[in-house]
Amino acid sequence: MKLCYLLTCLAVSAAAQKATVNGYVKDAATGENLIGATVLHRSSLSGTTANVHGFYSLTLKRDSCTLIYSYVGYQPVQLTFVLRRDTSININLTSAGQLEEVVVEATREEIQELTKMGSITITSDQIKALPAILGEVDVLKVIQLMPGVKSSEGSTGLYVRGGGPDQNLMLLDGVPVYNASHLFGFFSVFNADAINRVELIKGGFPARYGGRLSSVIDINMKDGNMKEFHGEGSIGLIAAKATVEGPIVKDKTSILLSARRTYLDVLTRPLMAVAIPEDVAVGYYFYDLNAKINHIVNQRNRIYLSSYLGNDRAYTKYREKFNQPDGTPRESAADSGLDWGNFITALRWNSILGPRLFSNVTATYSKYRFDIFSEYEEQDVGGGDRDYFEARYMSGIRDWAVKADLEFIPRPDHYIRFGAQTIWHQFSPGVAFSSSAIDGDTTMGARNVYATEYSVYVEDDFRLGRLIKVNAGAHASAFAVEGRWYSSLQPRLSARLLAARDFSLKASYATMTQYIHLLTNAGLGLPTDLWVPSTSRVNPQRANQVSIGAAKTYKSIYEFSIEGYYKKMSNLIEYRDGASFVSVTDNWQDNVTTGGFGEAYGTEVLIQKKSGKVTGWVGYTLSWTNRKFEELNFGKWYPYKYDRRHDISVALSHAWNDRMDFSLAWVYGTGNAVTLPIASFTGIDEPSPGQVQLWPHMRYYGERNDFRMRAYHRLDLSVGFTKKKKWGEREWVFGVYNAYSRMNPFYMDIVRKDGRQYFAQYALFPIIPSVAWNFKF
């Protein structure tokens, strides 16, 4: 008892000798939070970084102190003052681009100092520096250039460290996005103009993240300019976009609005009219709208309201007028197509609860739905004798969630995070509806499934001595569905040993549990992918991942990292033999095989050049990933479709001067594993006892995914010409996708032509030149 009392007195006494400086670090011109900005105490060399909300907290001795605030590309600010009590200081840093002549050598937390493993942060500027595809830069395409991340042609589906496309948690301002594809997967839903920062985590997951096995892609939208109105936009070959941001009340409330729409449908309409004389329209378009309001309530409280609305539509329309045999004029209209989209919104409340305690409370709503429709209507001209038929197939998922995240920073080298979340899911795994003049209305298919997901976490980032830094935590989650209760405790641990000033060794372990699954077609990026919950027949997926690695910085310009990982997965699901997404009207659980195992292992190397005229990176991955299901491949292990032995990516950009820049991206990957029929043979069946029937054309496939498509490689180039104008800045960007027109394989099939059969490998995109006009004011 006495010992407790003594320890308490000591702690209080120690605390009494210290005080805390906290606040936000922001861009002086825009008021935008500078995520990851460094705050360094000059004499002790202890420091901290601003969190994703721009907030920092540093507890120091009550004494005279000098703090250095810095951020890459910004002029550092040095502040000397006497720290007598807890103090709030908001700092505005000025961008180097706005200064006449500066040498910006900002300190930042370098890669060898970070505890995190398998984590890569990409800024909006880095995204925009890389080649645009059809005039559009795309966040997910940039992520696909990172080691450990694989993709396929014409798809935004990501396969991270041997995982499936459903095992990635894509968060836009903290809200999950369930389908990130536009244009059948060629573009993602994330408009680069509205994005501030992207973080990709492939392993060593901090405890605050959960719900997916393989990766977290955390995307932060811009908050909106607090100082003055600005805008930017572009007009490209297939799409135009515009973003406007500015203060509603200066330094108090800002708004950001961003919109993008394709106009393939508008451009091709005259061509269609010539090519098809009948009254037929075939088209496709997509649009995105992003909006965000950021309001500073007072020094301690901020509120954000952000929303995203996106929709894709592919359609055919056919109109006809004709006469019936008795001469009555009639008219008909037939419409069919696909419609899919996301709507997400988040209301966030940031609050400084104390000098060392920061909270972020979020309420979110996320909805994804797709709708396949076919409608036909026929009636006498002028009305009367109406006949109609309508058929629809709808599927989707809706989430309502509340989340509280708290950050407690007792010391500069000690960061504690904890929080809780509840998500209410509504799954609609497929409902078919038909209506006709004869049969009336009929609805069939899977009914809605309701589930609730709970999670709590605690995460502690601390030092053990001078050299070792540890991030330890646990994520506990539970899932209630149809009377079943699943729960899971997921320990997480990352540690780094600073072996030299610029070199560290790292290791991490993470257990992840995933309660929802995606039934996906062959990676086409079609919207028919079906989100389904764990049920009494389908257990939650689990993964354990260990990784070790090393990180080094050379002259603060080059970063080098190497990581090896091993991931074991269980309770995976997969379509059964013969199943396809076309048969989704059946109970989805009948189409899948469950209880699958997976393993993935490999090594990733990443060399980055972060500053200078030439910036970029080179990544290499050597990896294996396999699957095993009792019902598939006769129960034997087989390579996963995206098992890719070698994967190389090179992304470089070169800024010659203020007026001209050049960028390239080159990727190489071992061909995808596919299952091909290699022989045919005569089989038998017995429709009645003793009555044998021969089937002479049965296909023999050999082992599952035993054949490799050709290697995938592609070079994208772009060059930009920028010119300052009175009203702002304009840029012409000329780009080439697939510069040497490599016929990269998309799928394979047997073709019969000119009297012979052969295997054909289909490619989607040859060389595609593009031009875009960008503006900024």
Distance, in Å, from the CA atom of 68 to the CA atom of 81, rounded to the nearest integer, reads 12
CB of 109 to other proteins, least distance (A): 44
**Using rule CB under 8 A, residue 443 touches other proteins:** no
For other proteins, which is the closer residue by CB, 371 or 378? 371
Residue of 434, 535, 544, 570 interacting with other proteins (CB under 8 A): 434
3-state secondary structure 652-686: EEEECCCCEEEEEEEEEECCCEECCCCEEEEEEEE
Q: Which residues between 167 and 196 bind other proteins (CB under 8 A)? A: 184
Distance, in Å, from the CA atom of 252 to the CA atom of 232, rounded to the nearest integer, reads 22
Residue 6 CA to its chain's centroid (Å):
51
Phi, psi of 582 (to 5 degrees): -65, -25
For other proteins, which is the closer residue by CB, 101 or 685? 685
The DSSP 8-state label assigned to residue 250 in this structure reads: T
Q: Which residues between 108 and 147 bind other proteins (CB under 8 A)? A: none
Give the pairing type, strands 414-436 and 301-323: unpaired
Say if residues 393 and 374 touch (Cβ distance below 8 Å): no
Say if residues 583 and 553 touch (Cβ distance below 8 Å): no
Say if residues 179 and 340 touch (Cβ distance below 8 Å): yes
For other proteins, which is the closer residue by CB, 270 or 578? 578
For 156, 216, 533, 755, the CA distances from 166, given in Å and listed in that order, are: 12, 11, 12, 43
For other proteins, which is the closer residue by CB, 359 or 587? 587
Which are the contacts of 517, defined by CB distance < 8 A and separation ≥ 6? 166, 531, 532, 533, 534, 538, 541, 573
Q: Which residues between 147 and 166 bind other proteins (CB under 8 A)? A: 154
CB of 264 to other proteins, least distance (A): 10
Q: Which of 642, 510, 489, 514 is nearest to 565 (CA)?
A: 510
Instruction: Convert residues 272-301 into a mask of x (bound to other proteins by CB under 8 A) and - (unbound).
Output: ----------x-x-----------------
Q: Which residues between 687 and 726 bind other proteins (CB under 8 A)? A: 687-690, 692, 694-696, 698-702, 704, 707, 710
Q: Which of 109, 89, 32 is nearest to 461 (CA)?
A: 109
**Using rule CB under 8 A, residue 686 touches other proteins:** yes
Residue of 289, 309, 764, 771 interacting with other proteins (CB under 8 A): 764
Token pair for residue 299? 């020094």
For other proteins, which is the closer residue by CB, 94 or 268? 268
Q: Which of 609, 739, 723, 721 is nearest to 656 (CA)?
A: 721
CB of 681 to other proteins, least distance (A): 4
CB of 496 to other proteins, least distance (A): 43
Residue of 103, 582, 635, 727 interacting with other proteins (CB under 8 A): 582
Residue of 314, 344, 476, 664 interacting with other proteins (CB under 8 A): 314
For other proteins, which is the closer residue by CB, 256 or 526? 526
CB of 462 to other proteins, least distance (A): 49
**Using rule CB under 8 A, residue 9 touches other proteins:** no
Say if residues 518 and 467 touch (Cβ distance below 8 Å): no
Say if residues 673 and 708 touch (Cβ distance below 8 Å): yes
Query: Quick one: which segment of 24-32, 53-61, 401-409, 575-583 binds other proteins (CB under 8 A)?
Result: 575-583
Query: Quick one: which segment of 32-40, 65-73, 377-385, 753-761 binds other proteins (CB under 8 A)?
Result: 753-761
**Using rule CB under 8 A, residue 43 touches other proteins:** no
For other proteins, which is the closer residue by CB, 329 or 683? 683
Distance, in Å, from the CA atom of 646 to the CA atom of 628, rounded to the nearest integer, reads 22
As beta bridge partners, residue 707 has 674
What sign does the CA torsion over 166, 520, 518, 178 have?
Answer: positive
For other proteins, which is the closer residue by CB, 276 or 489? 276
For 181, 196, 222, 251, 464, the CA distances from 131, given in Å and listed in that order, are: 19, 18, 22, 35, 43
- Across the chain, which distance is largest between two alpha carbons, in Å? 107
Q: Which residues between 596 and 635 bind other proteins (CB under 8 A)? A: 633-634
As beta bridge partners, residue 256 has 245, 292
For other proteins, which is the closer residue by CB, 173 or 312? 312
**Using rule CB under 8 A, residue 440 touches other proteins:** no
The DSSP 8-state label assigned to residue 151 in this structure reads: -
Residue of 363, 406, 432, 507 interacting with other proteins (CB under 8 A): 432
Token pair for residue 321? 């007028």
Residue of 87, 196, 268, 761 interacting with other proteins (CB under 8 A): 761
Q: Which of 67, 64, 93 is nearest to 79 (CA)?
A: 67
Q: Which residues between 548 and 567 bind other proteins (CB under 8 A)? A: none
Residue of 293, 338, 532, 772 interacting with other proteins (CB under 8 A): 338
CB of 733 to other proteins, least distance (A): 23
**Interface size with other proteins, residues (CB under 8 A):** 81
For other proteins, which is the closer residue by CB, 325 or 578? 578
Element (H, E) at 503: strand 503-514
Q: Which residues between 380 and 399 bind other proteins (CB under 8 A)? A: 391, 393
CB of 164 to other proteins, least distance (A): 15
Q: Which residues between 654 and 683 bind other proteins (CB under 8 A)? A: 675-683
For other proteins, which is the closer residue by CB, 63 or 482? 482
Residue of 304, 575, 617, 737 interacting with other proteins (CB under 8 A): 575
The DSSP 8-state label assigned to residue 138 in this structure reads: B
CB of 439 to other proteins, least distance (A): 8
Q: What is the DSSP string of 162-228?
A: T--GGGEEEEETTEE-S--EEGGGTEES-BGGGEEEEEEE-SS--TT--S-SSEEEEEEE----SSS
**Using rule CB under 8 A, residue 767 touches other proteins:** no
For other proteins, which is the closer residue by CB, 103 or 684? 684
Query: Quick one: which segment of 296-304, 559-567, 760-768, 769-777 binds other proteins (CB under 8 A)?
Result: 760-768
For other proteins, which is the closer residue by CB, 6 or 698? 698
For other proteins, which is the closer residue by CB, 326 or 686? 686
**Using rule CB under 8 A, residue 748 touches other proteins:** yes
Query: Quick one: which segment of 140-148, 333-341, 450-458, 662-670 binds other proteins (CB under 8 A)?
Result: 333-341
For 171, 178, 213, 488, the CA distances from 454, given in Å and listed in that order, are: 17, 19, 17, 10
What sign does the CA torsion over 610, 616, 622, 628 have?
Answer: positive
Q: Which residues between 488 and 527 bind other proteins (CB under 8 A)? A: 521-522, 524, 526
Distance, in Å, from the CA atom of 563 to the CA atom of 622, rounded to the nearest integer, reads 11
Query: Quick one: which segment of 499-507, 552-560, 581-589, 602-610 binds other proteins (CB under 8 A)?
Result: 581-589
Residue of 108, 411, 576, 730 interacting with other proteins (CB under 8 A): 576
**Using rule CB under 8 A, residue 376 touches other proteins:** no
Side-chain-side CA neighbours of 706 within 13 Å: the count stands at: 11
For other proteins, which is the closer residue by CB, 298 or 757? 757
CB of 311 to other proteins, least distance (A): 16
Phi, psi of 372 (to 5 degrees): -105, 130
For other proteins, which is the closer residue by CB, 221 or 673? 673
Q: Which residues between 51 and 110 bind other proteins (CB under 8 A)? A: none
For other proteins, which is the closer residue by CB, 322 or 700? 700
For other proteins, which is the closer residue by CB, 63 or 590? 590
Say if residues 404 and 360 touch (Cβ distance below 8 Å): yes
Distance, in Å, from the CA atom of 412 to the CA atom of 415, rounded to the nearest integer, reads 8
Side-chain-side CA neighbours of 221 within 13 Å: the count stands at: 33
